[in-house]
């Protein structure tokens, strides 16, 4: 499932992130690339242990805790600490698939993270730069993603994807991975659609007797599929 989640960060939070990133100590983005993706990756990135990355990563994670659609879609068990990258001057990232397992080298996570889901949170407006589209190959074909500042796209970690060259301006983003309580993408999709339906029904007819049954179905499916 590929999902656009709007307004994960407020305009004020986006402005704060950009202010902090403007004076950050950027490094070669290949520091976190795998054996194959290192050949295709050309961007800049904040090291995982950089104080600005840790500060802004905490801000992103706090914002995610208040986002119902994110929780319903991801069903997060473990979230890899958010990272930050920058593309400019023709930089790009060729087609690749993210590593199946990520290790947090800062020591904040003691266990490795299985990358069930990948997330990209855009930190500047589409009109600020040319190129920089996130191209994702999924079940329904090729998806081209370039979102407003503060919006995020969530997609399966198994997806083949790339970032097109940035030929004007710069593209700033946060990216991270999620190990879900529910490993299978199809099962997560069914649970997400059921969750959305229950919320809509609750708003429209809060006393409808079917709500108890539907909520029970949701939790019994989650109980069946969840890995805890």
Backbone angles phi, psi at 95, to 5 degrees: -55, 135
Residue for token pair 């970690």? 157
Q: CA 37 to CA 39: how far, in whole Å?
A: 5
Select from 121, 215, 217, 210 the least CA-distant residue to 173.
121
3-class SS letters over 67-106: CHHHHHHHCEEEECCCEEEEEECCCEEEEECCCCEECCCC
The Cβ of residue 110 has, within 10 Å, a number of other Cβ atoms equal to 6
Q: CA-CA distance, 226 to 89, in Å (whole number)?
A: 44
What 8-state DSSP symbol labels residue 46? -
171 is in an annotated binding site: yes
The residues pairing with 102 across neighbouring beta strands, listed in sequence order, are 113
How many helices and strands (H and E) does the chain possess?
5, 17
98 carries a ligand binding annotation: yes
Judge whether 30 is annotated as a binding position.
no
Is 161 part of any known ligand binding site?
yes
Residue 3, strand partner residues? 154
CB 149 within 8 A of CB 136: no
Token pair, residue 189, equals 């999709």
| Binding residue numbers for 2-oxoglutarate | 171
| Binding residue numbers | 96, 98, 161, 171
| Binding residue numbers for Fe cation | 96, 98, 161
């Amino acid at each position: 499932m590929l999902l656009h989640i709007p307004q994960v960060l407020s305009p004020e939070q986006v402005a704060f992130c950009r202010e902090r990133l403007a004076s950050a100590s950027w490094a070669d983005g290949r520091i976190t690339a795998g054996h194959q993706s290192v050949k295709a990756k050309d961007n800049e990135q904040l090291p995982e242990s950089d104080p600005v990355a840790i500060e802004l990563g905490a801000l992103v994670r706090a914002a995610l805790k208040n986002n119902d659609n994110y929780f319903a879609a991801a069903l997060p068990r473990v979230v890899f600490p958010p990272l930050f990258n920058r593309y400019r001057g023709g930089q790009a990232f060729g087609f690749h698939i993210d590593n199946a397992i990520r290790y947090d080298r800062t020591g904040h996570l003691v266990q490795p993270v299985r990358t069930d889901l990948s997330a990209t949170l855009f930190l500047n407006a589409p009109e600020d730069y040319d190129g920089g589209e996130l191209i994702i190959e999924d079940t329904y074909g090729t998806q081209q993603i370039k979102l407003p500042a503060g919006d995020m796209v969530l997609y399966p970690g198994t997806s083949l994807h790339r970032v097109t060259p940035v030929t004007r301006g710069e593209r700033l983003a946060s990216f991270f991975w999620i190990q879900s309580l529910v490993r299978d993408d199809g099962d997560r999709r069914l649970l997400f659609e059921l969750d959305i339906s229950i919320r809509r029904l609750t708003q429209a007819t809060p006393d409808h007797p079917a709500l108890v049954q539907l909520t029970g179905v949701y939790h019994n499916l989650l109980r069946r599929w969840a890995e805890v």
